[in-house]
Structure 1
Amino acid sequence: MLLRLLLLICAPLCEPIELFLIASPPQPTEGSPVTLTCMTQSLPHWSDDQPQFRFFRDERVLRLGWSISRELQIAAVWREDSGSYWCEAKTVAPKVFRSRILQMNVRRVPISDVSLETQPPGGQVTEGDKLVFVCSVANGTGNITFLWYKGALGLSLGTKTQHSLTAEFELPMVRKSDAEQYYCAADNGFGPRPSGLVSITVRIPVSRPVLTILAPGAQAVVGDLVELHCEAPRGSPPILYRYYHEDVTLGSSSAPSGRGVSFNFSLTEEHSGSYSCEADNGLGAQRSEVVTLNFTVPVQNRKDHLTSGIIEGLLGTLGPSTAALLFCYWLKRKIGRRSASDPPRIPPRPVPREFTYLNSPAPKQPRPTYENVNVVSGDEIYSLVYSIQQEQSAAAVEPLGTLVENKDPLDIYSRLRKANVTDVDYEDAM
């Protein structure tokens, strides 16, 4: 009878208790939260005992100590969190119950939408500056390995592994040889996924240009076509060249291909002095050294220039009347010089002889010689008259005389009728 009583009392306590561990969701993906719940089919006699729970993963306690909560919440799980899980329950008796093992596998999200960007944006960078490549993925979980490559053949530049959707690779100082195509790849265990190609352009500031002055001959003279050639040894196109004479802008020319260009002009006396040129491609202008241009001015040009300057000054100072007188004097001198240099039009000079005027008729005066000067005004013609006169010396003895030749021809202008020039006699001409 006593044994039966003991069995009735012990029955609820000796009934086998089975615990279950449930994960929600059962197959989580990386980065998602998970809730673990420790449960049993029936614990009617535990209502007053307030059992305590704890959770394990691969023999390691996940939460310190016992807790009255039968749930364990994990904010985010990763591929490394995959493993064996179970829980334990403890009563006041005390007695410990252990659940079955739950095998949980955390799934990884494959990489997708890999892209490559640059800083500065646009793929243009100045030589000597810093260039940063930013590799990004739109989707992907877990540790992601990023890789950067140069050129279509895939020269490896570097790798980086981290829990992030983006990673950076830096070139601290860009050189001209870094102008190439680049791409990156990302891998989280499903194989690398490459990005598209990005072209990098390295812009080179212009170096100091060289100015060359080219002339047709060894020595430039006034009137020559002079060429100013300016060229920068280095610099990314397009390059704008400016030309200066004594720091005054002469003109400008653009070189789309980056080579040197020329500027031509006709040389005058005002072009003597210093020349320079400037190259600019938007990354900073550079000025050439100063080149001095010396050239020869013909003597005749100087005399003509001086004469014209004097005449202009006199015309402006003396007024119209004086200018007219000067012109008449110049015309008279010019006609006289042409007469003296024209032998066929000048009568031959007679051989000097001594004449005796005693008992002799008076010496006959020679007729003058006329010459047209081709000046016609209406019905009037101007002619030039040459006359050689004989005079009797006042100091000579009265019966004797000497023929004296007048060395300066007398220029006489006469107004003639255009209809009959030959009818004019010597007196009219005088």
Structure 2
Amino acid sequence: MSLTAAVSGFVLLLLTVPVIHSQDDWRVTYTSSKVCALKGSTAEIRCSYTYPYTISGLYTKVEETFWFTKESNDVYVDLRTDPEYSGRVQSHCGNNYCTLTITNVRESDSAEYKFRFTTNQPGEKYTGDTGVSLSVTDLQVQVNRLLVYQFSKWTELMCQSSCLPPGHPHYVWYNNGQKIWGKTSISYSGYFYPSDRISCAVGGYEELRSPSVLIQSPNAWRVTYTPTEVCAFKGATVKMHCIHPSMTNQAVHKTFWFTNTNGGRPVDLTTDSEYSGRVQTQCDKNYCTLTITNLRESDSAEYKFMFTTNQSGGKYTGSPGVTLSVTDPQLQINVRRPTVHSTWTELTCHTKCQLPDHSSYIWYKNGQKRKEETVYFLHSPLNPADNYSCAISGYEMSPSPSVYAPKLPSVSVSPSDEIVEGSSVTLTCSSDANPAAKYTWYKEGVDQDHERLSEVLQLVFSSIQSSDSGQYYCTAENQLGTKTSEYIINVTYPPKLPSVLVSPSDEIVEGSSVTLTCSSDANPAANYTWYKGNQTQHQSPEGIHHFSSISSEDRGIYYCKSENPHGEIMSSSLSVDVQYAPKLPSVSVSPSDEIVEGSSVNLTCSSDANPAANYTWYKEGEDSSKASGQIFTITDIRAEHSGNYYCEARNKRGRHNSTLHLIVVPDLHFSGSWKYTAAGTITVVLLAVLSLSVFLWIRKKGASRDSSELEERRDNREQGRIGQQEEQGDLQYASIHFSNHQADPRDNREHVRIGQQEEQGDFQFASIHFSNNQADPLYSNIRPAQPLRHTEQQEGAEYAAVKFIRAPRIRAGEDPAALYSTVNKN
């Protein structure tokens, strides 16, 4: 059906009844379902949209709005980013109304335009499923009648377009590019010269002219097609007609229809294998018809007619030809839920082809005819296995494709072999569904929590990590139902840094049960090896090293190695400290040879213990301890120190002791030969001293008998008396000092040689002090090298202190038997 109109720079809205698509409160309403625009003009498409104010307490906010014509696998191309519309598209939205403006429209812009908006609600995005069809056409000059005279032509022309302009526009006609004044109607007639080229435009949009037409005579070579556009259903039969000129001086040699070319040469449809058995051509004089049966969608094309004559080079092709569009009836699905507890589905059948008035549709469910009506209402619940289709009454052999809920989706993974950490992985979800399904990816988390990932056909991991392992699934959803798949991604990777634990985690006591555990995140599961230092202790896939009864030898530094085919890694060190009671102490004495009276002795005790032991020394037979610490020192040891000593080592885990027998022997060197010699010598010395003292005293007594007592005292002082008369008694004492050098005759002191003792070539001398105590039995205390212990003094006791001093070695030629003494006078 062809409409004669001239349109330029404006848009013609067809079927202006609002088109509404909704799901619950989600809705897109288009101002019209069809828009027709002239090539080069500006087209505007309008819509409004609604959405729920709140969902589960969350206020709905529109985040993005855009128009599109292309979609693939749920990928929508915003027209503002489409290079084919670059600089020609604008979108304006406000108060839930949106307008798409396309400037300088082209014939390639003819398409279905849809509106889509997204919100902040999880996964809530909405698209107006059936959009607005934009048809872009051009003005054409059509020659209705033509009379040819000798020097001119009279013709009737019409400015033609498939769009019907609103109101009563005026037209502008051009001859050879120059405006023809006064010609403002859609058609006119007049005389033209054979070389005239005629074009037309709509008033106000003169820049958008039709192509120029060369007015030919009836005998000129030309082809006229009726109609120039044909729309038909798949499976139907279509006919195309044309008229070619009648030749007066030439004979038409061959006529044929074609659509394909081979090397630039047209291919006769009757010989084209794609049309084999489906094409017929018939010509009656200069009137020819093309018939195509059992139409396919691939038959959509431009068909042209060609004729050749008997003249050399005589051939002509009518261009442009006839445009054939083969289509299917299409089902439009609307799902509405008027209440929370009820759902019903509305199916609408429509086609792009112009149908005769009062055409009806036939509906099918699972291939069986159900009813004949324009709209088919289905009430819930829907069986996901059912499918629905429709057909135009009279074209039942060309039903629409069936619509049905998605089938169980399948998931494919690339690469299909082992997935290694760090590699690129793509998951693809696919499901058989009509309308095409929308896909959403989820990952199952802990506690059956599902994480919504993305609304895409393919889920891509550019560098997959171990944390991405898990159970993924996708849902395929359309207006008729939803199906869910399952798939597990198993990412392999080398072990992560192992964690090491010891149980029990508090103090470990010898003999207890202890478990060391090594664990590492790895896929495939790791094998574990335990080490103590550089020594391998245990290997197992469980990573457990168990001590049923741990001992002190097991303490130390442990670590484990985690390994799988992708790598290995060592853990940090783990210190195992085993506590135990002291072991049997070891005791020792220093010096380790014979212990001689008067020497210094160290008793040492040590024991292996954890925690470290405390030490206490005891002597057998005594209640109290002798000392604390590892070392017990006895200075100036005596015979009475002999006996059994034991050391006790103890900590909070227990105690243990060991015994040491200590024997102190007399100093045989001093108390043997030296002591006997010294005793004899001392006796002789004492007798000599006493005799000398008595003798001197008697002599002085006699000499001073005539002198006064005072004079006698003075003389005695001057002579360095060696005795003194106490007021209380007659006790006298003397201090005899044995020098360690030879007696010197020049010395003014008196020297008394009282004895001599040779000991390894050394002289021994003694210093004898007589006390001034009362005359009582005489006691002596001999101190070699250091003072001996004094006996308890008794009142009135008289004693002497003898100090022995080691003399230098005897020189050669000296008398080793010489022993000198010096008597110091007090």
**TM-score higher than 0.5 here?**
no
Higher strand share: 2
Report the TM-score when normalising by structure 1. Answer: 0.38
How does the TM-score come out when normalised to structure 2?
A: 0.22
* Higher relative contact order, structure no. (Cα contacts within 8 Å, ≥ 6 residues apart): 1
Q: Pick the structure with more helix per residue.
A: 1
Larger Rg belongs to: 2
